[in-house]
Amino acid sequence: MSYIDIIGLFAGTCITVSTIPQILKVWKTKKVKDISLKTFGILTFGIIVWIIYGILKEDLPIIITNSVSLFLNLVMIYFIIYYEKE
């Protein structure tokens, strides 16, 4: 693994981890009133495009970090839809 890959993994990890505090807050409070479904929807679409880009470039750091981000954002979208009903 090259230093460029390590930098890519580090950057992707920082971006990926940034969603976790919001997910934990929603999970604990069960409140999503001030969270935009549209924002997370657009973000999730962008992540899917990044994964496709990573696959086309055969760039493992892009594929890995964005795949984890996709999962986390889908969890957040689920919470927004589920807790919006309450």
Q: Which two tokens stand for residue 69?
A: 């981000």
Domain of residue 15 covers 3-84
Structure confidence by residue, pLDDT tens digits, 5-54: 899 889 989 999 999 999 999 999 999 988 999 999 999 999 999 999 99
Residue 1 DSSP label: -
Structure confidence by residue, pLDDT tens digits, 45-70: 999 999 999 999 999 989 999 999 99
If one counts the domains in the chain, the total is 1
Q: Which two tokens stand for residue 9?
A: 């993994």
pTM of the model: 0.88
- Residue 29 is part of a domain; what is its CATH number? 1.20.1280.290
Instruction: Give the model's pLDDT for residue 86.
Output: 66
